[in-house]
Structure 1
């Protein structure tokens, strides 16, 4: 079933909450905040999967068997942006919710086996792999989706004025990559998808993540209640934090993106300070959970490949990560949607293509969601 044919939260066809058509600060949405695909970014896998290489035999084959991969290169063929050979890499990282099994319990909804992706980030790793820029793409962005072929060889027609997250629900990983490449003009060198159901357990096995909140967060929909102050979030609380959109800011997806970006920095700090090398059982449990939680492109579809990839990222600290949201403005015709601010967005894509830092001018004056600074690393 295509995303356009079923009116559900987070997919095209949804009418959205009615409200003013021109709203400077954006929507305070009332639709269900559940079923949010969760993004841990490449560093979650990187910080843990690299540890899996210390084992051999059973450990290697067990972890290798956990990893799911998609042959995106074959699905997309040659009609793609040219790979820039300057030492940099672009990785599309998605958070997914399979809508079945454990994901159904965590995310709500029917056990229909369909898939959603409500969170997407382009991770640009600069030459030398000492720093990175992470560009979040709001799932509510109205875009023109190109024709694409999914991993099973089925072709999906192009569509205009649809939500960005329809690409994944329509044609899976390969259509998501095709759409991102169409929007940005950038070649995605790798694909990494983090499963919704693995997130909570992963955070618990990490021992929690410390964050500081500058305001109270109270959201009954994501079941998160935090007083202003420093907290060590367990898996359930971390899940609530990256899902919440009603407890802080203007209630939009853009505000949630700001919380996610702050949480990612806190998580990167946490991973770098975990003493798993002295605890073989913890090391294996973390690697087992991480490999079960990810789907990769075929080039990363083995423990050895992931280890090599992770080694290339492990030196990037949170202080060397630039967090950016794709420049957008609220849609004047529908305050529950956003539209790309093309001139400013092009500044972002040009900077990344040239392996440069995104200029501040690219995001100045764009819609933000008003949640910046609410969460920082603890």
Structure 2
């Protein structure tokens, strides 16, 4: 396994662990806070939003959760602009598969620059959005919202999503600020006009806004694509988890409330998770997943022949990956190899 492949697995593992820890943080908040926090969560009925064109639910095939990090510029997020793109896009997408028995989990990171086929969806204005081929994955959210992202992932994978969780800019920033910032060390200067990140080589304690800039920086890193910024995301998420562990945030109701307060205000889920009680139940249900055994991979992709700035799913790896997830089987090594690595040369 190359260094780049190990890095992708580690960053996904920490992203997945972050999701688990945040669910547990929510589950640690007392019932007396239920009304205050639960009312902030936005819920979407997926069956109603998507319709009947969904993969069949297989009772013995585990649980599948699509985790979205959105870069919406609306509302509170408008003051957090870390780029020049208007509107909102799905900045991060992870398909988390929790095996039957809920003892093992695997997360598949879908690069936002991936060209996909978007199915027929409802646009944000309520009109019908026709199907389209070769559209960027992260553009689906901006045109039709999270339900269409779920439908797109289901149709490209054949894997039914039991739940989805979406956290926006403000939620991410709020969690970082709630724990007092995250310390990172960079080996060289980073001056990215696009993300706004401006750091000299050395150690820095980043606040929420700076953290957003840090994890979204990709220019001057690798080939400048979404694949090339994985190293910074890995470094930050490890630092974030280290800070959470050091402060014992999950063992303190007061601190857990502080995180949950920031989290729920920026959270959108399917209707099956759209309350503090349901989130807590789900968090407890995956408590048996050992983070050290979690496996995370990037969706195998190759550079597009027509546009080298975009990637497309690599065959036959992707078909083997989806088949393993649909049947709750171990993912074969042949399904994990991605021809595109974002310009990150393997280290020896």
Tell me the TM-score normalised to structure 1 length: 0.77
Whole-Å separation in 2 of the counterparts to 1:217 and 1:360? 37
1:67 aligns with 2:67: no
Partner-residue secondary structure (3-state), 1:121: strand
State which of 219, 224, 243 in structure 1 corresponds to 2:216: 243
Map of 1:31 onto structure 2: none
C-alpha contact (below 8 Å) 2:80/2:209 kept by paired residues: no
What corresponds to 2:70 in structure 1?
A: 96
SS of residue matched to 1:178: helix
Please give the per-residue CA displacement for 1:17-75, whole angstroms capped at 9, x wherever unaligned.
xxxxxxxxxxxxxxxxxxxxxx88632531321112x241xx21100111111111111
The residue that corresponds to 1:197 in the other structure is 170
1:300 corresponds to 2:277: no
1:109, 1:89 → 2: CA distance? 34
Specify the alignment match of 2:190 in structure 1.
218
SS in 1 for 2:149: helix
Counterparts of 2:204 and 2:290 in 1: how far apart (Å)? 21
- Residue 272 of structure 2: SS of its match in structure 1? helix
Per the alignment, do residues 248 and 357 of structure 1 end up closer, same or farther by CA in structure 2, a change over 3 Å counting?
farther
Once the two structures are superposed, the pairs formed by residues 1-378 of structure 1 within 5 Å of their partners are: 42-52=19-29, 54-56=30-32, 59-86=33-60, 88-108=62-82, 114-149=87-122, 154-209=127-182, 215-216=187-188, 218-221=190-193, 222=195, 223-225=197-199, 227=201, 233-257=206-230, 259-260=232-233, 263-264=236-237, 267-268=240-241, 270-272=243-245, 274-276=247-249, 279-371=252-344
Separation in 1, partners of 2:250, 2:265: 20
Q: Secondary structure at the match of 1:335?
A: coil
Change (3 A) 1:329 1:242: same
**1:314 Cα shift?**
3.5
The TM-score, its normalising length taken from structure 2, stands at 0.84
Contact 1:76 1:148 in 2 (8 A): yes
C-alpha separation in 2, matches of 1:67 and 1:244: 29
- Give the unaligned 5+ runs of structure 2: 1-14
What's the secondary structure of 2:68's corresponding residue? strand
Asked if the contact 1:49–1:306 (Cα under 8 Å) also holds between the matched residues in 2, the reply is yes
Who is 2:6 aligned against? none
Do the aligned partners of 1:217 and 1:248 also contact (CA within 8 Å) in 2? no
**Contact persistence 2:82–2:212 (CA under 8 A):** no
CA RMSD of aligned residues (A): 2.9
Quote the offset at 1:361 in angstroms. Answer: 1.9
